Amino acid sequence: MLFLMETMNSDQFIMKIFRWLGYDYFHSIEPIGKSGGLAIFWKQHLEIEFLFEDKNLLDMKVSQDSKSWFVSCVYGNPKQHLRYTLLDRLKEIGLTRKSAWCMIGDFNDILSNKEKIGGPKRLESSFQDFQDMIFACDLHVMGSTGNSYSWGGTRNNEWIQCKLVRCFGNS
């Protein structure tokens, strides 16, 4: 499986990438203008059932032979005051999900000030909704390698980097 987030392109363009990479199936949520866009590619040995989808979330049951698990592909709203909708949806899903579950994507949020370089410190309370969702869903950070700062940009003439992309798994 391959998850693309913030594709910012039409299905026609995504189809070219899909064919070039040699996947068997794809499903996408087109961007609104040049903002957002999600796509998931997968091979024929996997069976995918889409349980929920919108511009910020693809929630799926994945099966292979007699095994199945859940995957949620996330693109968090860039506007902080609108992220609660996705976090509430994920919490709702997680409170009932007892099977193997992986959540991956760009959450457009950080868990603490330790996950950013530069810029002013955020209030500890600003991390609470994201932390609460992770706790309620019994999620744990999955390990990764390489540079964990997935976003960099200038705000008020200062370079800032943040860890926005991550992967979680439940117990």
103 Cβ neighbours under 8 A, 6+ residues apart: 71, 72, 74, 90, 137, 139, 167, 168, 169
Confidence at residue 102, expressed as pLDDT on a 0 to 100 scale? 97
- Is 109 in contact with 136 (CB distance < 8 Å)? no
**Distance from C-alpha of 145 to C-alpha of 96, rounded to nearest angstrom:** 31
pTM for the predicted model, two decimal places: 0.93
Q: Using one digit for the tens of pLDDT, what is the confidence trace for 115-156?
A: 999 999 999 999 999 999 999 999 999 988 999 999 999 999
Mean pLDDT, all residues of the chain? 95
Band (19; pLDDT cuts 50, 70, 90): very high
Task: Find the distance separating the first CA and the last CA of the chain, reported in whole Å.
Answer: 22
In angstroms, how far is CA 140 from the centroid of its own chain? 14
Per-residue pLDDT tens over the stretch 102-120: 999 999 999 999 999 999 9
